[in-house]
């Protein structure tokens, strides 16, 4: 999988030795820049934009997000609790399946409760009625599967055959739409407007009979709106047309776009040896700190990586897994213990997916403002964080 991100921006001048290692460093100025772009699109199109906590849930910057966007979308009870505690604006909650015992609180916290199938809505009807009787006010949404594959990697494509995400569009009936206030679809991954248009062409025809019933349509995330080459003017026109054609409030819930190129992961070379090629062991682990490197898979961009000739170095983590390999890089520094390096575009997904497998320490979290050069350590992790999640 080829990522289109990896612009170093202000990190090109950041001294990697100013922070601990390993460490995530988030640039507040770049975050604000991304949010301004999203807010400009929102205002020009007359829609609403929610930040997806599944991609970026660094709640210490929630006040910054609240200055620009309309709220957040969450993926279950714990994210909804986090949203209710720290974030301003609306809360839209979607889960592939809810536990019945979680739903009452989710309804209390959320403005929109989105289900993965009509059967889930039917089974939850008594809980929803009870929640409303207790004073909770929320809309009910249904996620549909557009059945329009657009992704580069099938297992990351919600429209792949056999996908568990969303009710298949070719099975949608009038009966399924009873009690549904909004339609949700999420079909993109790091993509621009053409896959969105292709998806909407299919969705529009299927849900047109229900426009009078629907209050909102949520077009999900995966939109790389803050990427420099994204067709933002065309997107605004598209969203304006969708709003006029449907008479519905239109939502987008970008995740990556909020924190695109806003963070790096700093690491240190711990040891080196030669085994057919130069190999370096680092304190950054693909398995524990950047699992998408293995799952997607993809090759994260490196800050100041050398281009052209020169033998690459294979970088791997400190865990015992043979597959804990990040990739082959032409390092911008000498391949020797103590040297620092950084991977670009690591604020989203990497931060929320970290684990302490094998007792590998979690990266600390730092907030830097490239406009003022202010640097603050937001969170450090210790052995206690590893111990207390076990028993």
Per-residue pLDDT tens digits for 88-113: 999 999 999 999 999 999 999 999 99
- The whole-number average pLDDT for the span 336-347 is 98
The whole-number average pLDDT for the span 150-164 is 89
Query: What would the mean pLDDT of 226-241 be, rounded to a whole number?
Result: 97
Give residue-wise pLDDT tens across range 7-51: 999 999 999 999 999 999 999 999 999 999 999 999 999 999 999
Q: Give pLDDT, residue 151.
A: 84
Are 249 and 228 members of one domain? yes
**HSE-up of residue 59 (Cα within 13 Å, Cβ side):** 12
Among 212, 234, 259, residue at a domain's last position: 259
Same domain, 238 and 296: no
292 and 341 in a single domain? The answer is yes
Residue 378 lies in a domain: yes
| 230 and 83 assigned to the same domain | yes
Single out the residue in 227, 259, 291 at which a domain terminates.
259
Q: Based on the fold, state whether residues 178 and 281 are members of the same structural domain.
A: no
Question: Quick one: 211 and 299 in the same domain?
Answer: no
Tokens representing residue 306 in the block:
């050398």
Decide if 103 is inside a domain. Answer: yes
Quick: pLDDT tens for 358-375: 999 999 999 999 999 999
Which residue did the predictor score with more confidence, 316 or 153?
316
Total number of domains constituting the chain: 2
Provide the pLDDT for residue 275. Answer: 97
For residue 222, what is the domain's CATH number?
3.20.20.10
Q: Is residue 360 part of a domain?
A: yes
* Position 3 in a domain: no
Q: Residue 2 — pLDDT band, cuts 50, 70, 90?
A: low
Are residues 102 and 240 both part of a single domain? yes
**Whether residue 247 is found in the same domain as residue 341:** no
Kindly state whether residue 32 falls inside one of the protein's structural domains: no
- Residue 1 counted as domain residue: no
Q: Which domain holds residue 343?
A: 9-25+262-387
Task: Provide DSSP, 307-337.
Answer: -SSS--EEEE-SSS-TT-EEEEE--SS-SST
> Could you tell me if 240 and 175 lie in one domain?
yes
Residues in CB range of 208: below 8 A, 6 or more apart: none
Question: What percentage of the chain exceeds 70 in pLDDT?
Answer: 99
pLDDT reading at 1 higher than 70: no
Q: Are residues 97 and 129 in the same domain?
A: yes
Percent of the chain with pLDDT over 90: 95
The Cα-based distances of 341 to 119, 267, 310, 329, 332 in angstroms read 50, 5, 17, 11, 8
Residues making up the chain, counted from first to last: 391
Q: Are 112 and 224 within one domain?
A: yes
Q: What is the CATH number of the domain that holds 383?
A: 2.40.37.10
> Exposed, middle or buried, 64 (CB in 10 Å: 0-12/13-18/19+)?
middle
pLDDT of residue 125: 97
Q: What is the structure's pLDDT at 4? A: 72
> Smallest Cα–Cα separation from 70: which of 53, 88, 95?
88
**Rounded alpha-carbon distances, angstroms, from residue 244 to 46, 235, 354:** 10, 14, 42
| Average pLDDT for the chain | 97
Q: Is the pTM of this model over 0.85?
A: yes
CB 259 within 8 A of CB 26: yes
Residue 40 lies in a domain: no
Same domain, 110 and 236: yes
Helix (H) or strand (E) holding 38: helix 28-45
Of 259, 282, 303, which residue sits at a domain end? Answer: 259
Residue 2 covered by a domain: no
Per-residue pLDDT tens digits for 272-295? 999 999 999 999 999 999 999 999
């Amino acid at each position: 999988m080829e990522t289109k991100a990896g612009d170093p921006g202000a990190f090109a001048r950041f001294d990697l030795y100013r922070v601990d290692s390993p460490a995530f460093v988030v640039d507040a100025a770049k975050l604000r820049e991304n949010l301004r772009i999203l807010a400009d699109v929102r205002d020009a199109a007359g829609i609403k934009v929610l930040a997806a906590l599944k991609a970026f849930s660094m709640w210490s910057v929630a006040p910054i997000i609240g200055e620009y966007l309309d709220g957040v979308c969450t993926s279950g009870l714990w994210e909804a609790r986090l949203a209710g505690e720290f974030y301003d604006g609306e809360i839209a909650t979607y889960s592939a399946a809810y536990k019945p015992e979680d739903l009452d609180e989710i309804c209390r916290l959320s403005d929109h409760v989105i289900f993965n199938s009509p059967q889930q809505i039917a089974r939850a009807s008594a809980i929803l009625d009870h929640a409303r009787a207790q004073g909770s006010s929320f809309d009910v949404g249904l996620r549909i599967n557009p059945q329009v594959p657009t992704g580069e990697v099938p297992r990351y494509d919600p429209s792949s055959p056999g996908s568990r995400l969303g009710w298949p569009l070719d099975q949608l009936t009038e009966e399924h739409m009873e009690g549904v206030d909004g339609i949700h679809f999420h079909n993109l991954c790091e993509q621009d407007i053409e896959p969105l248009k292709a998806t909407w062409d299919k969705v529009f025809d299927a849900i047109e009979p229900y426009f009078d019933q629907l209050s909102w349509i949520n077009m999900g995330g995966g939109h790389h709106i803050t990427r420099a080459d994204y067709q933002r003017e065309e997107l605004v026109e598209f969203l304006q047309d969708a709003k006029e054609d449907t008479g519905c409030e239109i939502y987008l819930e970008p995740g990556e776009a909020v924190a695109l190129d806003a963070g790096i992961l700093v690491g240190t070379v711990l040891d080196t040896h030669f085994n057919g090629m130069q190999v370096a062991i680092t304190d950054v682990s693909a398995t524990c700190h950047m699992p998408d490197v293995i799952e997607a898979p993809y090759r994260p961009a490196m800050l100041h990586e050398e281009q052209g000739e020169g033998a690459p170095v294979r970088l791997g983590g400190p865990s015992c897994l043979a597959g804990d390999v990040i990739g082959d890089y032409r390092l911008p520094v000498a391949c020797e213990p103590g040297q620092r390096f950084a991977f670009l575009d690591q604020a989203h997904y990497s931060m929320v997916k970290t684990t302490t497998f094998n007792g590998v320490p979690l990266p600390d979290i730092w907030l830097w403002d490239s406009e003022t050069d202010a640097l603050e350590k937001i969170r450090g992790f210790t052995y206690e964080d590893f111990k207390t999640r076990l028993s």
